[in-house]
Amino acid sequence: MYQSMNLSFSSNLNHRSLLKPRSCPGISARARRSLHFNPSCLSSDPKSDDSPPVNLSSKLISLLKAVPNWSDGIKERRMQQKRSLYTHENWVRHRSSLRHLRHVSSSASSRVILSLIPPVFFFTTVAILIACYNSAVDMDWLPSLFPVLRASSLPYQLTAPALALLLVFRTEASYSRFEEGRKAWVKIITGTNDLARQVISSVHGSGDELVIRDTLLRYIAAFPVALKCHVMYGSDIAGDLQNVIEADDLSFILGSKHRPRCVLQFISESIQLLKLDNSKIQMLESKMLQLQEGIGVCEQLMGIPIPLSYTRLTSRFLVLWHLTLPVILWDDCHWNVVPATFISAASLFCIEEVGVLIEEPFSMLALDELCDMVLSNIDEAVESQKVIRRRITAKKRLDGINRPSNGWLKSSSK
């Protein structure tokens, strides 16, 4: 409801701003008075009758939008904060019996609760106004033609299960999108690590071959970072990739229209330059299919929300419910309709807000730590490859020395 009010005031302001008074030389004042309404030929007199309403409406708009803009700003800043993966210590704290006290004490900084301030404040104010009006009518402060606003609670009793099911289905649909995004990124991280492992184990050359391999590994580590910046608002891909790939490659990627696919093209071309058998090259190319599918899933989740008719129906149902709630509860609660409306709005709009937040899943996942983990895993695999290969070669040589002519290993006597 408050959003529709803001939109109506905004459209009114835009209409007036397009009609800003300007002087029209060559047209007399009498002629201007006889003309019909013309946006390009309005008087610029500072004492015009239109200037006070414009100033008043602009002040009213800024006043009405102050609280929503403040809460939305806090929510969007929290959405861009980096998430962290859970450790054993985090799970112990998560299961702690003091978690309820901790959660209640942090309510003032919760982005979900802060985002509820505009609707809850609006509907509580409506409940106060209705309670004041009904009290004034009951005390005969108003003429008898003003009726008490009351209604039967039967419609609410019949529609309460429908509202509950609507909220449950809305939240469940949002969580299914969150789960789909999580599974997509699990496949992306797994496919990236597997592709890097195959490259490290397949390339055994030296010189240019190792240079191409190391460059290819950097491109592989850059892919999840590019995809993360592609699906998350406010990401800095230049800052995230400046220590991963070279500057000339980074400038080329930044200039491309689709950066994750550009990184995949770098990976594919680097694989073709490796001196490997066709079977190994085809195997490496097939690993990239998993990464390509990850791009498709992430873009679908980002570009296709839950059907807007469903979201709008939920919002309209909640608004209509709480606008009429004080009228329904007046006979039973009287002034208690104010806390009852506050509790109902805070509870139901909180459920709806959670569904909206998790509908876009990528800001809820620890994508930055997952990308850093891929880079650290690749660096560790490259460093440990030579050590592991030497150990296996030494065991093979020792096995050839200790193996007798019959092919059985000699058992060591104690």
pLDDT score, position 285: 87
| Closest alpha carbon to 153 in 314, 322, 320, 332 | 332
pLDDT score, position 386: 80
- Distances 154 to 26, 30, 159, 333 between C-alpha atoms, Å: 68, 63, 9, 16
- In a domain? residue 372: yes
- Is the CB of residue 245 less than 8 Å from the CB of residue 238? no
In the chain, the amino acid numbered 113 is: I
- In a domain? residue 380: yes
| pTM reported for the whole predicted model | 0.75
The C-alpha angle 164, 166, 167, rounded to 5 degrees, equals: 65
Interacting residues of 46 by C-beta distance below 8 A, sequence separation 6+: none
**Number of folded domains in the chain?**
1
Q: 97 phi and psi, to 5 degrees?
A: -70, -15
- In a domain? residue 189: yes
- In a domain? residue 194: yes
- In a domain? residue 91: no
| Closest alpha carbon to 114 in 59, 68, 150, 171 | 68
pLDDT score, position 10: 40
pLDDT score, position 58: 76
| Closest alpha carbon to 245 in 231, 263, 229, 260 | 263
In the chain, the amino acid numbered 20 is: K
- In a domain? residue 275: yes
- In a domain? residue 106: no
In the DSSP assignment, the letter for residue 2 is: H
pLDDT score, position 301: 94
Q: Which domain range does residue 385 map to?
A: 176-305+364-395
Q: What is the pLDDT along the chain (414 residues), one digit of tens a residue?
A: 334 334 333 444 343 333 333 444 443 443 333 333 343 333 344 444 444 555 777 776 777 677 677 777 777 776 777 788 889 999 999 999 999 999 989 888 788 888 888 899 999 999 999 999 999 998 989 888 899 999 888 888 888 899 999 999 999 999 999 999 999 999 999 999 999 999 998 887 677 888 899 999 999 999 999 999 999 888 889 999 998 999 999 999 999 999 999 999 999 999 988 888 888 888 888 888 989 999 999 999 999 999 999 999 999 999 999 999 999 999 888 999 999 999 999 999 999 999 998 999 998 899 999 999 999 999 998 888 888 888 888 887 776 656 555 555 554 444
- In a domain? residue 95: no
